[in-house]
Structure formats: C-alpha cells, structure tokens
Amino acid sequence: MATSRKTLLNSLMKHKKRLDEQPMRVQFALDPNRFKRYSASASDLLLDYSKNRIDEPTMAALFDLARAVDLEGHRKAMWAGKHINVTEDRAVMHMALRYQGDKPVKIDGRDVMPDVRAVLAAMKSFTGQVRDGSIRGSTGEAFTDIVNIGIGGSDLGPVMATLALAPYTRADLRLHYVSNVDGAHLHDTLKGLDPKRTMFIIASKTFTTDETMTNASSARGWIASALGEAAVTDHFAALSTNLAACDAFGIKSDRIFGFWDWVGGRYSVWSAIGLPVALAVGFDNFEAFLKGAYDMDQHFLKTKLERNLPVIMGLLGVWYRNAWGFATHAVLPYDQRLSRFPAYLQQQDMESNGKSVDLEGKPLAIDSGPVIWGEPGTNGQHAFYQLIHQGTSVIPADFLIAANPHEQMAPHHEKLVANVFAQSEALMLGKSKEEVVAELTAQGLDKAAIKALTPHKMFPGNRPSNTLIYPKLTPEMLGSLVALYEHKVFVQGTVWNVNSYDQWGVELGKQLAKALLPKVLGTAANEGNDASTKGLLAHYHKLRGMAE
C-alpha cells in the first residue's frame, strides 16, 4: 500500500523541530547566500522565499514529498485532459484557453482549440466594435457604460483584472460589476447611468445562478421600461456554457459567447468570462494577459520542481499548514490596483482546497486549505499588521510589488517599495529584548519605565513571508501572477489528495435559501426550522410589519 498522506506529512516534523531551534535571523547571519539560494524566477517574475522557516534538508524533504505524491504524474494527467474533477466527471483544462502553441489540445479525444479560437475571434470582433462605436444601443448612441452581472468566478476574475489594468482602460468606456443579490448593488450601480448608453453582460457559466438571474431580470426591466422591450436585444450580451438559456433570455445569438464544462468557474477569467476585461482594456491587452498565463503554464510544466515557482509556493504552504499548523495565509499586494487580488484568490484557493474528504471520499486525516485573506499595503499596515507582527498567531504572507509604477509621481513608489521591504524584514528579524532595552536606554528612559515597556515593544520575529517582485503590472504580468496562484492551488490539492475542481460546499446554503424564501415572503407557514431560524423569521416579519 502507498504511504499515507499523514505519514508523509508527519515525516516533515523532524525538520520543524530543528528549525524551531534556529530562527531565520540566525540562518541569515550564517549564510550570506541565503537570498540567492532561496529565490527563483519565471521570466521577469522573481520569487524571494528566503524569509521562510526553511533550510536545505527541509526543502529537499518538501520536494521529496511532491515526488512521493506523484505531482508530476498528476500534472501530466491534467494536461492530458483526464477527468481529474472526479465528482463532476470533467477534465480541467483552463490552460487551453490561453494556449499559444499550434499542437492540438485534446479532451475526450477531440481537439478543443478550434472552438477556443472561434470564441476568441468572436470576442475580438465584438469588443472592437463596441469600443469603436460601430455596435451601438437601440437609439443609435455609442455605449459608454458596460455592466457585467455575474457572481463568484463570473465576477471576481474580471473585476480583479479590470481594476489591476486600469492604466490600459479608457475614460469614456466604464466597466461596472454587479454581483450581490442585494438590490443595493444594482441600484447604486445604475444610479446616474443612461439606459441608452448602457450595455449589460450576463455572465454565468450555468445561467441558473439565482443572484445573477435576479439581477439580470431587474436589469432587463430597467432597459425595457426606459427604451421598450424591443431594445433588450441591443443592450444585452451573455457569457455562458448554457447557450439555450441565453437564447431563452432573449439574447441575440451573435452576442452569446460560449465556453465549456472543462472550465471551472473560478478558472474562467481566460474564457468568454473575460469579455468585460477585453472591453475595458482592448483585445490586444487581453491577449497579452492570456500570453502571460501561458508563459507561466510553460514554466510550471517544464521547470524542474526545485526551481518551479508554483511548486515552491505550494509546498511552502503545505509546510506551514501541515507541519506548523498555521491556519491562514495573507496575500499583501503593495499595489493599489491589485486591491481585489486577495478576494479573487479567496475563491480560487478556498473553493478549490476547502475540502475535508479525499478523492476517494474518505475523511482527510490531515488539514487542507488555509484561510486566504489580505488587503493592499500600505493600508493593511495601519489596520491588521499589528497582529501579524505581535499577535499569537503566525500568518505566512505573500508580498507583491512592481519595480516600476505606471505613474511618474516620485516619491510615492519609492516609499511603497521601502515599506514592503521593511515589512518582510521586520517580520523576519523581530526585535529582541536586548534591542528594545538598548533603544529605550538610548531614549533616556528610567529603569522602571524600561522594565514596564520592554515586553510590549518586543517582536518575536521569525515570521515567514514570500516576496514576488516584477518589473511592472502589465497585462502579461497579471496573467502570469494569476496562473502562478492557480498552479499553486493545484500543487497543494495534489499533496492533500482533494478534488480542487468541485465546490459542493456552496450547495447546502443555496438549497436552504430556496426553501426559506416562501417563509420570508410570508406565503408559507413559519414552521419546520430550528428555533433560531424560526425566531429570526418571526422577528423579521415583525420588523417588516407582517403578520406571523
């Protein structure tokens, strides 16, 4: 029988024991080559992982672990179109959407590239015509506002990328994103928009998601009441795998952009779901985004594990999750335009690896995906970094920074860079008792004050981080970064032996919401639920002035 995951992961504990006794600052002092030893790059993207609790034997053990779980075999299976999404019996092939080569990419014996290229060509033509004003609204006016209605993977990727690529957008073509079923989202988005110049894109892989369909229906009503029912076809486009449902909604066939069941929702920004991004930044830039992801695919496929960025980052995450028990992981872009990158990664990572049974359906004997969270720096420094530096939880973090800003506004970027480097340094070094005492003594404090203040001013240090540094946040670099994290999730899912490509955990809430709606509306009796839910319903009815 193959060695169990638990046994494999337990074998890491001896390395933890050794590193527990040798903090990073000691290792840095002993090894002037530590940065060189523990940094790697994929084209222009450099990963510095030297500020981690690692040494050579630990890294060797992690790469051994990757080989023991047959990471390379699993990677090959994914690229060969095997149905690695076992619970939905589907291939996982979002890499085909950005494939730049000329070989066939086969799924179930069929080359999918002609279909992929046909949709890309349709997207190119459509986005070009909207941008140059040759596709217009029902009254003949050019579109100035595009509202994408979608949620989860049909929202987070496009929002994240549109914000990230703001320097490539046009002021006269504004993109808006509505996801929440909360009417406030649609209402506040439409406030001030002119129906004559507004186009809606309904983005939904299934075209059944309740939030999206509810928002789509209200948006349809908004257009129909302002411009008449006949205007709907001119003001709507759809992105979906469910072409029949798009048709039934009343969307013209040449405005329906399809994709396929081998593209997971959270991996779909490369597909037709990326249409709003292409509208915002132009198709050439969207293609550069795809190209950047393709470059990362090639890096992941062809670079040996020891120099492979997604593999290194994935294994470090496993190391902290399983050997050290760290439950969360922060993503801290020092790039305001990556403000939604952590939220995007939350779905990508937590919906993928937030699982507690293995591929065979057996309960996991090990921990799987961590909580992913984060905010851009430097804002986070004035909010939650206190806990990262001095709290009782250790939170491994990824810092992201571009060397070159888009704006020539010295000294803003220089200050941003100084801050990001300072944070990883502070986390690693910490501040010892001796250092605090020396500092307070130099400030002239008396002995009693020094004694009282010292524990508060000490930093434990030895807190791990990665730093990703790149020349500039271009469409290509953004594509590489997103693909890097996608493959990191794959690496971790392989080690944990989970299906990273299903998401049954979101179903129960959906089912219960559906069942509760008539009770919320008061058309069904408030009975059959637990006492809390029943009590909340009754109180809600009271607040709304409804009879129980």
Q: Which of 503, 519, 526, 537 binds ligand F6P (CB under 6 A)?
A: 503
Cα–Cα distance, 241 to 262 (Å, whole number)? 10
Beta-carbon contacts of 478 under 8 Å, excluding residues fewer than 6 positions away, are 161, 164, 165, 289, 292
Residue 382 bears catalytic tag? yes
Smaller CB distance to ligand F6P: residue 39 or 218?
218
Cα–Cα distance, 331 to 333 (Å, whole number)? 6
The one catalytic residue in 382, 456, 507, 527 is 382
Label residue 439 exposed, middle or buried (CB < 10 Å: 0-12, 13-18, 19+): middle
Q: How far is the CB of 271 from ligand F6P (least distance, A)?
A: 11
Smaller CB distance to ligand F6P: residue 85 or 503?
503
Query: Residue 143: which of 128, 131, 159 has the closest Cα?
Result: 131
Site string for ligand F6P, 295-334 (x = CB under 6 A): ----------------------------------------
Residue 351 bears catalytic tag? yes
> In this chain, which stretch among 54-62, 79-87, 200-208, 489-497 interacts with ligand F6P, using CB under 6 A?
200-208
Site string for ligand F6P, 136-165 (x = CB under 6 A): ---------------xxxx-----------
The single-letter code of the amino acid at 294 is: Y
Cα–Cα distance, 449 to 367 (Å, whole number)? 44
Q: How far is the CB of 152 from ligand F6P (least distance, A)?
A: 3
Q: How many residues bind ligand F6P (CB under 6 A)?
A: 14
Degrees to nearest 5, angle at CA 210 with 223 and 126: 50
Q: Which of 11, 39, 138, 206 binds ligand F6P (CB under 6 A)?
A: 206
DSSP-assigned letter for residue 101: S
The one catalytic residue in 14, 510, 539, 542 is 510
Distance from CA of residue 378 to its chain's centroid? 20
CA distances in angstroms from 279 to 98, 133, 265, 373, 502, listed in the order given: 18, 12, 20, 29, 29
CA dihedral 468, 473, 475, 478 (to 10 degrees): 30
DSSP string, 260-323: -TTS-GGG-TTTGGGHHHHHHH-HHHHHHHHHHHHHHHHHHHHS-GGG-HHHHHHHHHHIIIII
Cα–Cα distance, 176 to 474 (Å, whole number)? 21
Beta-carbon contacts of 266 under 8 Å, excluding residues fewer than 6 positions away, are 152, 153, 156, 157, 347, 348, 351, 352
Residue 510 bears catalytic tag? yes
The one catalytic residue in 287, 351, 476, 486 is 351
Smaller CB distance to ligand F6P: residue 198 or 212?
212
Cα–Cα distance, 90 to 83 (Å, whole number)? 5
Helices 156-164, 475-496: axis angle to 10 degrees equals 140
Q: Which of 205, 255, 463, 519 binds ligand F6P (CB under 6 A)?
A: 205
Smaller CB distance to ligand F6P: residue 208 or 386?
208
Determine, following the binding rule CB under 6 A, whether residue 50 of this chain makes contact with ligand F6P.
Answer: no
H or E element, residue 219: helix 210-227
Q: How far is the CB of 123 from ligand F6P (least distance, A)?
A: 17
Smaller CB distance to ligand F6P: residue 214 or 533?
214
Determine, following the binding rule CB under 6 A, whether residue 353 of this chain makes contact with ligand F6P.
Answer: no
> In this chain, which stretch among 198-206, 285-293, 297-305, 438-446 interacts with ligand F6P, using CB under 6 A?
198-206
Smaller CB distance to ligand F6P: residue 415 or 510?
510
Determine, following the binding rule CB under 6 A, whether residue 60 of this chain makes contact with ligand F6P.
Answer: no
Determine, following the binding rule CB under 6 A, whether residue 131 of this chain makes contact with ligand F6P.
Answer: no
Site string for ligand F6P, 258-277 (x = CB under 6 A): -------xx-----------
Q: How far is the CB of 343 from ligand F6P (least distance, A)?
A: 13
Smaller CB distance to ligand F6P: residue 210 or 306?
210
Asked if residue 148 lies in contact with residue 130, where contact means CB atoms within 8 angstroms, the answer is: no
Q: How far is the CB of 160 from ligand F6P (least distance, A)?
A: 13
Determine, following the binding rule CB under 6 A, whether residue 13 of this chain makes contact with ligand F6P.
Answer: no
Catalytic sites, residue numbers = 351, 382, 510
* Interaction site with ligand F6P (CB under 6 A): 151-154, 204-206, 209, 212, 265-266, 351, 503, 506
